[in-house]
Each structure stands twice: as structure tokens, then as C-alpha cells.
Chains A and B, each alone.
Chain A
Amino acid sequence: MTESLVLEARNLRLSFGGVKAADDASLAVKKGEKVAIIGPNGAGKTTFVNLCTGYLVPQSGAVMFEGRDITGVAPRRIARGGIGRSFQLPQLFLDNTVIENMLLALAAREGIWQAWTPLERHPKRDEMFDLLGVIGLAEVAQRPVRELPEGMRKLIDIAMALALKPRLIFMDEPTSGVSSKEKFAIMDTLIKALKYNETTAIFVEHDMDVVSRYADKVAVWSGGRISLEGTPEQVLNDPDVRKNVIGV
């Protein structure tokens, strides 16, 4: 195999009834790369993320992570194996505070099978306060997640994935729900956090400014497969992409 591929999706296929949500989708991602996935609504971007993280099992094809076949492996095993993810709709423990959400992620990483020391007194809890500080959420640490706006929830969702210290992270539209003013600031901190841990990232994104600024590589999805792949410059100047995805 070529130099250290972190993720290799090979010819993934999955249809829901008649809808081909993944139709021979393939993607190879190298260590440290930031790959943006773009494409119109319903193109199969989230389905691809779901296939790579075990939420869905492909009808054919394979997913390789660091050279190991993880096709059909349960999400929790994939998560333990070093792949984190955030969701298009944030998946959080709404009744708990932000820090409680983070502490559960911390405990999940450090060993959840412990029934004596209270979670809130976790010996490494400061690490989670630090992480919240990095993404600018230190002030809401004690607030119940339910009370926070969507944009903040998206960040918490990503922070929970980062708390696991994954080697590869999938982010499904990290900046949706965030005002366009804040997008760059948030992406700057996220990219910094990723660099720090040498995390490879694959993110679904609708904002082309974000894509051109942060992606090393762009994959254009349409009809369940990649129709075009290249550097942001190549892809974003492609006439087809400009017409069908960006809409200019």
C-alpha cells in the first residue's frame, strides 16, 4: 500500500429501497490530511460518514482504517479504535451540563468501568475544562446543554469527539448553525486542535469559503459517489461544480 493511508473506503454501496445513497463510493485519505466533502443535499455525504463509522453497514465494498478492515464493525469498537465523529444533528446528553457531557467522554476514554469515584471528581477533569477553553466554551461549562443554541451544541458535539483523542475524525457540517462571522474563528481553533494531536480530519461542509481556506483536498459527492476530487483550487473552479454545487 501507498504511504500511510489512514482511511481507505473501497467501492462502498448501499441503497435504501430504490435510493442509492452510496453507489461505488471510494476515498483514500493520508495521515494529517484535511479532506472536505461537498455536494448537494441528499448526495450521500452523511451516509458515507455513517458507513465509515459503523452506523451503517455497506452492502458491498470495504472500509480500511490504518490498514485494518473495519467493515461492519460496531460503532463503539470503531470509536475505541481511534475514529471519532461529530454529527449533523448534535448528539448530546441534553439534560446534563456541558462539563458533564465532556466528563463522560473523558471517562469513556480513560475507563468507564468504574463504579466508585463520582464522575464529577474525575482525576483528569481539568483536561476537559482546558478543551472547553480551547473551543471558547469555558463560560458555559456549567450550563445544561438543553439551554444552549445550536451553534454551541455543534461545538460541544465536536469537543466530545476530540476528547477521545481520535487519530481520525469525521465532522458532519461542523459550522452549520454558526453565524458566518464566527465560522472562521471556530475553524481556526478546530484546525489548531487537530494539528496539535496530528488528527486526520474529514469534514462535510457547505460553505465554500471554509472549504477553500481549510481543506487540503476536496471530494465532490453526487448521487452517492465522488464525481470529482482534487485540491480546493481545482475543484472550486470546475464549471460543473460551480453550477451544481455552489450554484453560481
Chain B
Amino acid sequence: MRPEVIMGAGAALALCVATIIAPWATVMLTIALAVGLTVLGIVILLRAGQISFGHGLYYAAGAYTVAFLVNARLSLDTLVLIPLGGFVAMVIAIAFGFFAVRYRDIFFAMINLAISMVAFSLLEKLYHLTGGGDGMNVARPTLGGVRLGRVAFETWMFYTTLAVAAVSAFLVARYLASPLGKALEAIKSNETRLEYLGVSGNSALHIAYAVSAALAGMSGAIIAIVTGHVAPEFAYWVRSGEFVFISILGGSGNVVGAFAGSIVFEVIRNYAAAFAASYWQTILGLSLIAIIMFAPDGLTQLRLRRKVRP
């Protein structure tokens, strides 16, 4: 884990310096770090050789949890709202998990897609509850009990998000190196053997699924607070695809990759959109091709698994 710690600490320091030198980048970097949390969740599933094309659901669950709570005028603090977003997403994932973790590979990916699309259409259709396609605004909550002005709030949200990201990355790294994390890897490498060791692959995946949803939920919660708005698009499959895209961009070999990938993604999106408005997706696509060709460490994790008859 040591190189990861050094890499992570170095990256965190570089980001802090960046926000001081270029304060206008603060919000962009906060968003990138927050999205990185969802990507970290995707990376966990990649360890088991599984991808979800529906994690937008858990991202949206965290975001809408914050929107509802803030609009209910409960005056909850940011530091309460973020874990609550993660908690609600996790509870939903535990429930759907009983169904989803029985599947593998393309079926797992598609089940997640299907569940998230149901959520997307509900967010759109239940207008009186969710504001429909327009979504909901989220008034700025207090942060650490203090009501801050916009600039101060943005600065402190950056540090808050950085802290959440750092703690999450550390805990996930511990998890992935632990017996439970190794059992998760075993799903990808040989689930037959795992079962004959007396371990349920489904249960190991269920736990991973819940953890990854909790991360996505915190991620959505932070985005809702920082941008002050939530919309059904959070649960849309394009968003979910973006998360998978970023996880491949960053590589799933270590926990820092998730955040590196999402920062690169966010920067390309911002600048490509500014300088080549109609081509930014082309640029993203080309960069992904380059990654796959020259640094395929993320993609190799997606090897299709063949069942071997013992």
C-alpha cells in the first residue's frame, strides 16, 4: 500500500496548491473528486470482474436524499448530509443487491442498467415529489455548523471533499487487501474454487455492491451540495457510462486511479468544451482509445470469464 499512500498524499497536496494558485478551478476540482468517489465504487466492482452500467442510480440516490432533506428545511449540516446520502444509497443497494448479485458479467451490467433506468423514469414522472425533468434546487447548507458565503463555502467544500476522498480511498485500499477484498478478486479469477473454499461469491459481491453504492451516494450528495441542483439525468445511463469510462481511464489497479481518472476527465470536459464545443466527446473518445492502446491496465480487468467444468 505504501506507493499508493505516497501517490495519494502527493496528489492531494498538488490539488491544494492548485486551488490556491488557481482559485477558479476549485469547484471543478471538487466536482472531480466527488465523481471520483463513484468511480472508486466502480473500481471495487471491477476487482470482481464486474461492471455496473447503473451506478447513476446510487449517485442520484445520494443527491436526491440531500435535495429532499434540504428542502424539508431540517437545517441539516453538510457533514451530516454527505454520510446520509451514502447511507440511503447503500440501503437501496442492499435491497436491490439481493437480486443483482446473483448475476455476473454482461447480465450484472444490464440488471444494473435496468434498475437505474426505472429510477430515472420515476424521478422524471413523479413531478410533484421530484420536480420532474427540471429537478430540484438545493439551498446551500451550513458547513461544520457555520453558514458561509459562496467563495468560502466553495473553498471549504473542496477541503471537505478531499478529506472524504482520502478517508474513503484509505478504507477501500484496506478492504481490497483484506480477506474480504481477496475473496472479491476470487470471483473474477475462479468462483468455483471460492465456493469450494466455503465462501459465497454472491455474499462477497453483495458487500462490495453496498460499499460501492455508499461511495456513489456520498458522491451524489456532494455534487448536489456543491452545484445546488439535482436532476433526473444523475440516474441516466449516460452518466453511469461516464463513471465506467472514467474508471477505465484511471485504471482499476489502485485506489488513486479513480481520482486521477476523474480529474483528467473533468479537465478535458471543461477545456475541450470551451475550446472545441462540438468536439469534446470526440476528444474524450480518442483519449480513451489511447489509454486502451497504451495503458490497458484498466481494461484487462474486464476479461470475460469462462466457467470450467471441474
Complex CA gap A172/B198 in Å reads 19
Given contacts A115-B174, A120-B177, contact A107 B193 (CB under 8 A): no
* Separation of A164 and B198 alpha carbons in the complex (Å): 9
A89 to B198, Cβ gap below 8 A? Answer: no
Q: Is B83 an interface residue (CB 8 A)?
A: no
Determine if B192 and A119 form an interchain contact, defined as CB atoms under 8 angstroms apart.
no
Q: How far is the CA of A54 from the CA of B180 in the complex (A)?
A: 24
Chain B residues with CB below 8 A from A175, complex form = none
How long is the Cα–Cα vector from A117 to B308 in the complex, in angstroms? 31
In the complex the two chains form, is B177's CB within 8 Å of A91's CB?
no
In the complex the two chains form, is A119's CB within 8 Å of B195's CB? Answer: no
CB of B199 to closest CB in A, whole Å: 5
Which A109-140 residues have a C-beta within 8 angstroms of B? 109, 111-120, 122
**Is the CB of A96 closer than 8 A to any CB of chain B?**
yes
| Interface-lining segment among A7-15, A74-82, A191-199, A229-237 | A74-82
Tell me which of B67-75, B148-156, B183-191 binds A. Answer: B183-191
A186 at the interface (CB under 8 A from B): no
Residues of A with C-beta under 8 A to B308: 89, 91
Q: Which of B178, B196, B200 contacts A114 (CB 8 A)?
A: B178
* Most chain A CB inside 10 Å of its own CB: which residue of B177, B189, B198, B204: B198
User: In whole angstroms, how far apart are the Cα atoms of A100 and B185 in the complex?
Assistant: 12
Q: Enumerate chain B residues within 8 angstroms of A46, measured Cβ to Cβ.
A: 310
Contacts of B309 in A (CB 8 A): 89
- Which chain A residues numbered 12 to 34 have a C-beta less than 8 Å away from chain B? none
CB distance from A243 to the nearest CB of B (A): 30
State A94–B192 Cα separation when bound (angstroms). Answer: 13
Q: Are B180 and A112 in contact (CB under 8 A)?
A: yes
Q: How many residues of B contact A (CB 8 A)?
A: 26
Cβ of A228: which chain B residues have Cβ within 8 Å of it? none
Closest residue of A by beta carbon distance from B186: A93
* Bound Cα distance A161, B195 (Å): 12
A115 B189 Cβ-Cβ under 8 A:
no
- Do residues B180 and A76 form an inter-chain contact, with CB atoms below 8 A? no
**A95–B189 CB distance below 8 A:** yes
Q: Does A88 contact B (CB under 8 A)?
A: yes
Check: A50 CB closer than 8 A to any chain B CB: yes
Q: Give the distance in Å from the alpha carbon of A87 to the alpha carbon of B197 in the complex.
A: 13
Contact across chains for B190 and A119 when beta carbons are under 8 A apart: no
Q: Chain B residues near A172 (CB, 8 Å)?
A: 310
Contact status A107-B175, CB under 8 Å: no
Chain B stretch 26-50: residues in CB contact (< 8 A) with chain A: none
Cβ-based interface call for A85 (8 A): yes
* CB interface residues, A 153-175, toward B, < 8 Å: 160-161, 164, 172
Say whether A35 faces chain B, with CB atoms less than 8 Å apart: no
- The answer on a CB contact under 8 Å between B198 and A91 is no
A104-B179, A116-B174 are contacts. A53–B190 as well, Cβ < 8 Å?
no
Q: Counting CB contacts under 8 A, is B181 at the interface?
A: yes
Q: Is the C-beta of B102 less than 8 angstroms from some C-beta in chain A?
A: no
Whether B310 lies near A91 (C-beta < 8 A) is: yes
In the bound complex, CA of A46 to CA of B309 (Å): 10
Contact between B197 and A108 (Cβ–Cβ < 8 Å)? yes
Which interface residue of B177, B180, B193 has the most chain A CB atoms within 10 A? B193
Separation in Å of the B72 CB from the closest CB of chain A?
34
Q: At the interface, yes or no: B147 with Cβ under 8 Å from chain A?
A: no
Indicate if A55 sits at the interface (CB-CB under 8 A).
yes
B125 adjacent to chain A (CB < 8 Å): no
Q: List 21 interface pairs A-B (beta carbons < 8 Å), by A numbering.
A: A53-B196, A74-B195, A75-B196, A76-B199, A79-B196, A88-B310, A93-B185, A93-B186, A93-B190, A93-B193, A96-B185, A104-B182, A107-B183, A108-B179, A112-B199, A113-B179, A114-B178, A115-B174, A116-B174, A116-B175, A164-B198
* B interface residues, Cβ below 8 angstroms from A: 1, 174-175, 177-183, 185-186, 189-190, 192-193, 195-200, 204, 308-310
The 10 closest A-B pairs by CB, nearest first: A107-B179, A108-B197, A79-B198, A80-B198, A91-B193, A118-B177, A87-B310, A115-B180, A93-B189, A115-B178
Known pairs A53-B196, A91-B308 / 6 extra A-B pairs, C-beta < 8 Å = A77-B198, A79-B198, A104-B197, A112-B199, A115-B179, A119-B179
Q: Which residue numbers of A lie inside 8 Å of B, CB to CB?
A: 46, 50, 53, 55, 74-77, 79-80, 84-85, 87-89, 91-96, 100, 103-105, 107-109, 111-120, 122, 160-161, 164, 172
